[in-house]
Structure formats: structure tokens, C-alpha cells
Amino acid sequence: MEKILKRSLLTLTLAGLSSTSMAAVEFHILDAAEVDASSASWLRQEVANDGSVLTPFGDQSDLTYQKWHKSTGYAPYSTPGWALGHGLSNDGRYSLLTSKDLADGVRYYTPDGMLLVSSGNMSGDGRLITSGSCSYAPEACSLSFQYDGEHLNGEIYTALPDGTQASPLYGTTNNSGDRTLVHNNHAYYFLDIAGLFDNSSLTTEYTLIPYEFNNVSALSDDGHAVLATIKNYSTGCGESNVVYHDTNGITEISCKDEFIAQGFSGDGSKVIMTSRENFWSPAESYIWDANNGSRNIKDILQQNGTNIADWSSFKVTDISEDGTKITGWGTNPQDESYTFMIEVVAECTADF
């Protein structure tokens, strides 16, 4: 396998250990409680461009999310909560958490303090929260918006120009919040929204994606790519993981019966995946890009001086918008499960 990091510094951070460095690799081990593996298998860590990680913390009976950064360690939120969807902004400065006690509502943490807001999906820049709802009437799906915690005037009903109802796809918003995804069965559309920030009437434009996807899981932060699955796209794959780009078209990444796509970078150029042989505790994680194809992340670490081959579980869950950080969780030979963060250090010219 080609060595992908030359004269570079790769940092692997494992929450809960102490700190060593070797050769061209820094291996950080931090003081923290380990992650409950039974909870980590269905909750996901998120990572920001600045290296902040939003992670489950504690055992299943007292599970909450905390934010971690290598320079400051763990920082608890004022009210215990869970991240459901996009809970951390790309710069790490905004968080959106649902309180463990649902009666306490949704808490929006900003650089200026905490606000109570309506449930929704946070844009990559952390400023816009989009809420989608569908009543029992099929023509009544709508989107409403909050900016910096304040409700914006107006909402839109997601109906196509011919009157066909389209349902909002929760959790798919670009960095600025003015593009999202809607669908009608297996037909998916980019929905561009104008007038959000200038007090004018909201206008919409729908652009059909020219493929029938079985499922779409993410919209890139730049708004140009979607991470999806499609049936019978190629010989030998009953269902394929693909990236569709509104300019470059469709690219097959892998077969879904072998890999689960967990996320992609802000421009859609890097995809992280886990192997399917054990869904709840995958032993292997991979990163894909057009130049290198799929590579085992354990092999990348091994090539750069960090050996975690004997970890029984190793699951990536998120990649940062700039594509230089990856987070997830794993279980070491002592059967201790930790959140990890892998980072290409900015001073270097390296890349994953």
C-alpha cells in the first residue's frame, strides 16, 4: 500500500490515556473516563476543523455529551444532553444538544452563551437551525428557520413546481443553511432557498438529482455533493455507496454489503467507512479518495508509527469539513473503549 503521509505529522488522540511521541507521529493519551461501548455503538462522535470533538461521555446509565479539545481537555455543558444529528459546528464554537430531560428542550451553545431553541438541524457554520415537519396531510411538509437563536419570518412548504409534495431530509444542510435536500420516494432534489437573511419573501428552486437513490445520508458542507446508496449501479454490487456531485456526476465508492459509509468531507472528496462484518463493533475503518481509493486507517497509522492492530473494535464516525481530522471510538486489548481523534497537523503539507 502506498505511503500516504510524507514528512508529515499525524496525531492520534485517544481519550483516556497519557502522551507520547515517536518518529513523525504524536500519540496523545488523555486523562478521561472511558466510553461505554454499548452506548458508543449507536451514538456518534463529531469533529470540528479546530480539532474539537463532541463525544458521548460516561456509562449508559449516566450518558451525556461533552466537548473535548487537546489543549483544554473535556468541557461539560451546563445541562446534560445528547447530540441528535449535526451537534457541532465546523469551527467548534457552536453546539446543539437535546436535553436528557426532554422537558428542558433543545439547548443552543454559542460563543455568547446558551439559548433555548426549537429542535432542528444546525448548519455547518453554526448560525442557522432548520426545522422540518410534516403533518398527517401529505401536502403539509414545511421548513422553518432560526438564525442565531431567533426565529426568522416565514416558512416554506416543500412542494415541487408541479404541486407534488417533497419531504425534507432531516440532517442535510449546507454550511450556510441556504441549501438542503428534499425527496419524493427515491427522487431527490437540491432545494435552494433565497431571501433567508434579507427580510424579503422566501423563494425556492428545486433541482432534480438525475439518479434514483435508495437512500441519501448527507449533503456536503459546500452544498454540491451528496453521500448516497444506489441499487444495481454496477455488476457485482446489489447496492453501492456513491458520491453524487452536481458538476462532476456520480462516483461509486464501495459495495454496501461490504462497507457502511459514515460521512464525508466538506467538498465530498474524502469518504470514511466501516467494514460490515460486525455492524455494532467493526474491527476496521477506511478512508476513500479518488486518487488513492479505499485505505485501511489502521494501515495508515501503522505506516506512521502507531500500531493499533490489536484493537478489537475501531469505528470512525465523522470527518471534519476540511478533511484533516477524523473521530470515532475503539476498544483496546484491555477491553477499554475510548473516543479517538486522528489529525493531520496544519503546519505540515500532509493529507489523509
pLDDT digits (tens, 9 = 90+) for 23-68: 333 555 444 545 666 665 667 889 999 989 998 776 666 777 888 8
**CB-CB contact of 129 with 146 (8 Å):** yes
pLDDT (0 to 100) of residue 14: 38
CATH number of this structure's domain 10-344: 2.130.10
Predicted TM-score (pTM) of the model is 0.89
From CA 218, how far away is CA 245, in angstroms rounded? 12
Residue ranges per structural domain of the chain: 10-344
The top-scoring range by mean pLDDT among 14-23, 135-144, 222-231, 275-284 is 222-231
| Alpha helices, DSSP H, located in 37-182 | 37-40
From CA 62, how far away is CA 43, in angstroms rounded? 14
73-84 pLDDT per residue, tens: 888 887 777 776
**By three-state DSSP, how is residue 303 classified?**
helix
From CA 100, how far away is CA 85, in angstroms rounded? 15
Q: Is residue 146 predicted with pLDDT exceeding 70?
A: yes
pLDDT (0 to 100) of residue 221: 96
pLDDT (0 to 100) of residue 15: 37
